Structures are given as C-alpha cells and as structure tokens.
C-alpha cells in the first residue's frame, strides 16, 4: 500500500491547457468584492493543503473534489447537503469563481475551499488515498480531433486521481458530447485502477439520485443527452 505521506508518485504535467477562456465579462461589483474578502479565507494555498493533509478539515470526515465547477451551483448544493465533506473546487473561469463565492456567502457554507485555476498541481500535493469522491461534470469537450490532447481526461490525469483516491472512491464524469463520453469510457475502463460497474442504459442515461442540474446543463449545448459515468477506484493489492 502507498505511504499516504509520500508525494513521490506525483505526475510531471505537460503543457496541456484543458480549459478555454478565463474571463468573459466584467465581474459584478458584489462578486468582485468577494474576491477581496471571502476568497482569501477559503482559497486553496500550499498552507491549506498541508493542513488538509495533516487532518485539519474543519470537522469534515470526507474529502471531495469538483474539477471545473462552472457557476458553482452543483458544488454549493453538494456542500449544503453533505456537511461531513470538505469539498475542494477548481475553476479557471473567474466569472464562475465569482458565482460560487456568491453561493457560498448566501448559503453560509463553511466546508468549501476554492482554487481559481488548474486542479492538477493541487492533486499532486494531496496525500495518497485521501479523497472520497471526485466530480468532473461537463468539462470543455474540445470536439475537434486536433484539440483532443487538451481534454482533461487523459491517462496521466487518471493516474493522478487514482493515487489520491481511496479504495472504492467514486469518480463521476458527465458530458453532453457523445465522443467525449466514448473517449472517457475507453480510457477509464482500460485503466488498471478504475472499474465501471454499470449494467443498464439507465445507469448512464438517467441522472444519479444525488445529481444537481446546473444552468450549463440546461442549455443543452452538446450533441447528445447528458451521459453520467461513475467509475470506482479499485482496491489496492
């Protein structure tokens, strides 16, 4: 079993940029203010990662990740429903970060930590076998073949997630692009550390009972109905 304090298996990331724009419009005054007041209190820093790794989780017994939280509706709802979980949220799109900060303030959530940027360097700093659940919901699809190398789901990404996930931990991936669903299914089922247990179409065509529909999902911008793929981290030998 991997020593949970050893980051030696951390991935050496290439120059992949898995996200597009980081800002679309001027932040609303309230959101801009939250960047100055609330974000410093909950931003994921090296010091806060060290605290999480040593068990300082504000009373939470579980550690969850949401990679690419969009406008933050899903993350905030999950945090409100699951006070036992400390949720680390990652989103490079600053308008989305501002939206999540507003949700956190309005719902008085104390179990959320936020990184306005790439999740991958933080994943590398987390203890092995420390994460209970991961959400990757409707990431940038990069539909053109020449851009597929920018998709977040790559073998090296799965390697990094497998290192930090506990045995039996769940990775939920959702997309409304058929090719990205196939791409992810191919790579995750070929990965030695992940298992897909779905048996019937309802298990990937029907939103899971704990899913929270977001504004992005409602826009139906993809080329298929949403697909939900739940993978489990296989037990370590």
217 is in an annotated binding site: yes
Q: Is 91 annotated as a binding residue?
A: yes
73 annotated as ligand-binding: no
Residue 167 annotated as part of some ligand binding site: no
CA 55/CA 58 separation, integer angstroms: 9
Task: State which H helix or E strand residue 202 sits in.
Answer: helix 202-205
Q: Does 193 carry a binding-site annotation?
A: no
Catalytic residue among 33, 46, 108, 140: 140
Please, which residues have CB within 8 angstroms of residue 219's CB and are 6 or more apart in sequence? none
The reply, when asked if residue 216 is annotated as ligand binding, is yes
Side by side, the strands of the sheet bearing 194-196 are 112-115, 85-90, 62-67, 131-137, 165-175, 227-233, 194-196
140 tagged catalytic? yes
Determine whether the annotation assigns residue 118 to a binding site: yes
CA-to-CA distance for 54 and 47, rounded, in angstroms?
11
How large is the angle between the packed helices 178-190 and 155-164, nearest 10 degrees?
60
Q: Which residues are annotated as a binding site for S-adenosyl-L-methionine?
A: 66, 91, 118, 140
Q: Which residues are annotated as a binding site?
A: 66, 91, 118, 140, 144, 176, 214-217
Q: Which residues are annotated as a binding site for substrate?
A: 144, 176, 214-217
Residues recognised as catalytic: 140
């Amino acid at each position: 079993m991997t020593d949970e304090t050893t980051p030696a298996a951390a991935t050496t990331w290439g120059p992949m940029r898995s996200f597009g724009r980081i800002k679309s419009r001027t932040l609303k005054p309230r959101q801009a203010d939250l960047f100055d007041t609330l974000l410093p209190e909950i931003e994921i820093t090296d010091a806060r990662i060290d605290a999480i790794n040593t068990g300082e989780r504000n009373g939470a017994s579980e550690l969850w990740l949401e990679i690419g939280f969009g406008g933050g509706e899903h993350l905030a709802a999950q945090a409100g429903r699951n006070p036992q979980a400390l949720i680390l949220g990652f989103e490079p799109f600053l308008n989305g970060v501002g939206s999540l900060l507003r949700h956190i303030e309005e719902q008085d959530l104390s179990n959320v930590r936020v990184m306005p940027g790439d999740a991958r360097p933080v994943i590398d700093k987390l203890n092995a076998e420390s994460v209970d659940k991961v959400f990757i919901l409707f990431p940038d699809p990069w539909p053109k073949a020449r851009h597929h190398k920018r998709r977040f789901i790559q073998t090296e990404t799965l390697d990094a997630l497998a290192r930090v996930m506990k045995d039996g931990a769940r990775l939920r991936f959702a997309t409304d692009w058929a090719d990205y669903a196939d791409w992810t299914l191919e790579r995750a089922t070929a990965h030695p550390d992940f298992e897909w247990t779905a048996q019937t179409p309802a298990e990937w065509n029907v939103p899971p009972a704990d899913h929270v529909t977001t504004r992005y999902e409602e826009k139906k911008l993809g080329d298929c109905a949403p697909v939900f793929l739940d993978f489990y981290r296989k037990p370590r030998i």
